[in-house]
């Protein structure tokens, strides 16, 4: 147990650098961000990046570990609750498809909520860059969050749609659903001009959630028709 009034100086410096670096790396990318700019934004000396993180690259990795743990805080409790409810249900039966759809929406509500935060505007560009050119930093975030959550989503999509969970078609549909939720951050420039949204306000997120819900419901409603 550590007294809250006693934060060691080094920890403060590390934290300031990481928080500032999310912003600076997010704006300009890894190469364009100079250690001088990073240090200035954090209000610390430039040489401290080398001391605490071994160099610019080390700080970059630390930033991704920080982002991963922040995303986990948002998503893991919801994912665990969803898993719990899913496992409690009988293996077969009519309500199972509808439950999966509901759980899917719960999961994406949390995801869209996370994206709504102002912090997301900073780390989304970082993650996107890693998606295009995956390095060690991408593994950190994929292994600890994206992979597991996507696995859960695939399972829910399979149950809600009646598809085989292991089929290519099911995994394609799962990614498409993810695309529907991500597009507003990913294509930020287009969103700005198309929606006339400068930033994603809570009202915007609420409107997105509503349309997302309708889209999911209609995509899986054919079940009712087929059965």
Partner DNA sequence: GTCTATAGTCGGATAGAC
Partner DNA sequence: GTCTATCCGACTATAGAC
- Work out how close the CB of 46 gets to a second copy at its nearest, in angstroms, rounded to a whole number: 19
Q: Which residues contact 181 (CB under 8 A, 6 or more apart)?
A: 108, 111, 112, 115, 208, 212
User: Total number of residues binding a second copy (CB under 8 A)?
Assistant: 57
Tell me which of 12, 32, 43, 54 binds a second copy, using CB under 8 A: 32
Is residue 195 close enough to count as binding a second copy by CB under 8 A? yes
Q: Which residues contact 45 (CB under 8 A, 6 or more apart)?
A: 39
In 3-state terms, what secondary structure has residue 198?
A: coil
Tell me which of 19, 37, 61, 178 binds DNA, using CB under 7 A: 37
CA-only gyration radius of the chain, Å = 20
Tell me which of 3, 118, 189, 227 binds a second copy, using CB under 8 A: 189
Is residue 36 close enough to count as binding a second copy by CB under 8 A? no
In 3-state terms, what secondary structure has residue 142?
A: helix
CB atoms within 10 A of CB 201: 11
Is residue 2 close enough to count as binding DNA by CB under 7 A? no
Is residue 116 close enough to count as binding a second copy by CB under 8 A? no
Q: Which stretch binds DNA (CB under 7 A): 2-10, 88-96, 152-160, 178-186?
A: 2-10
Is residue 52 close enough to count as binding DNA by CB under 7 A? yes
Tell me which of 12, 45, 69, 190 binds a second copy, using CB under 8 A: 190
Q: Which stretch binds DNA (CB under 7 A): 44-52, 101-109, 118-126, 181-189?
A: 44-52
Tell me which of 15, 29, 57, 167 binds DNA, using CB under 7 A: 57
Largest CA distance in the chain: 67
Is residue 7 close enough to count as binding DNA by CB under 7 A? no
Distances (CA, A) of 41 to 11, 52, 142, 147: 17, 16, 28, 33
Torsion, Cα of 99, 178, 216, 77 (10° steps)? 30
CA distance 87 to 28: 44
Interface with a second copy in residues 145-164 (CB under 8 A): 146-147, 150
In 3-state terms, what secondary structure has residue 54?
A: coil
CB atoms within 10 A of CB 197: 15
Residues near DNA (CB under 7 A): 8-10, 12-13, 33-37, 44-52, 54-57
Binding region for a second copy (CB under 8 A): 27-32, 124-125, 128-134, 138, 142, 146-147, 150, 168-169, 171-184, 186-195, 207-208, 210-212, 215, 218-222
């Amino acid at each position: 147990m550590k007294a809250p009034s006693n934060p060691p100086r080094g920890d403060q410096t590390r934290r300031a650098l990481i928080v500032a670096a999310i912003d600076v790396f997010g704006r300009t990318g890894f190469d364009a961000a100079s250690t001088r700019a990073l240090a200035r934004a954090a209000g610390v000396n430039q040489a401290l990046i080398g001391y605490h993180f071994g160099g610019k690259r080390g700080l970059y990795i630390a930033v991704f570990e920080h982002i991963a743990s922040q995303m986990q805080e948002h998503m893991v409790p919801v994912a665990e609750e969803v898993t719990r409810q899913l496992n409690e249900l009988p293996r077969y039966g009519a309500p199972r498809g509808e439950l999966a759809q509901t759980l899917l929406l719960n999961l994406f509500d949390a995801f869209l909520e996370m994206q709504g935060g102002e912090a997301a505007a900073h780390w989304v560009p970082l993650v996107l860059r890693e998606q295009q050119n995956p390095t060690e930093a991408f593994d950190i975030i994929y292994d600890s969050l994206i992979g597991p959550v996507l696995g859960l989503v695939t399972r829910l999509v399979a149950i809600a749609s009646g598809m085989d969970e292991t089929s290519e078609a099911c995994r394609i549909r799962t990614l498409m659903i993810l695309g529907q939720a991500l597009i507003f951050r990913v294509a930020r420039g287009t969103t700005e001009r198309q929606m006339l949204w400068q930033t994603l306000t809570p009202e915007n997120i609420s409107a997105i959630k509503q349309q997302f819900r309708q889209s999911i419901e209609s995509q899986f409603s054919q079940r009712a028709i087929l059965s």
